[in-house]
């Protein structure tokens, strides 16, 4: 057996530019009224373990059309400090799409990723 080293670092083949593009695509793919965590976006972009890279991109992003407000922390909370203008802005944008935001957080429907289902039925 050839010992499959943890593929955690199987990213060397992608240029940062491609990574950025894929992350942006993943964010744009979030439907109105839906939300996703930074980690989700990273995974969907083919970049598992790089939630912070998503955050970094968003912090620099200037694209007005990007639905940045649909990205939350894994626990469903808005990433900005509760007193910040950005927090209020994100809150407003989400509610405008019909998302139920309470105390700066959104209820994330638990992962129904076939794994639990496959194991436990």
Residue ranges binding DNA (CB under 7 A) = 8-9, 11, 16, 37-40, 49-56, 58-59, 61, 68-69, 71, 73-75, 79-80, 86, 90
Q: How far is CA 89 from CA 30, 47, 64, 85, in A?
A: 18, 28, 13, 6
Smallest distance, Å, CB 86 to DNA?
Answer: 7
Q: How far is CA 110 from CA 46, 74, 75, 76, 101, in A?
A: 21, 11, 10, 11, 17
- Cβ nearer to DNA, comparing 1 with 87: 87
Smallest distance, Å, CB 97 to DNA?
Answer: 15
- Cβ nearer to DNA, comparing 1 with 7: 7
């Amino acid at each position: 057996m050839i010992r499959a080293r943890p593929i955690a670092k199987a990213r060397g083949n992608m240029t940062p530019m491609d990574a950025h593009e894929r992350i942006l695509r993943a964010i744009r793919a979030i439907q109105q009224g839906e939300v996703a965590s930074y980690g989700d976006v990273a995974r969907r972009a083919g970049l598992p373990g790089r939630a912070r890279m998503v955050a970094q991109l968003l912090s620099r992003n200037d694209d007005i059309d990007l639905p940045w407000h649909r990205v939350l922390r894994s626990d469903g909370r808005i990433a900005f400090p509760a007193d910040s203008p950005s927090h209020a802005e994100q809150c407003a944008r989400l509610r405008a799409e019909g998302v139920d935001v309470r105390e700066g957080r959104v209820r994330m429907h638990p992962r129904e990723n076939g794994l639990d289902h496959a194991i436990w039925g």
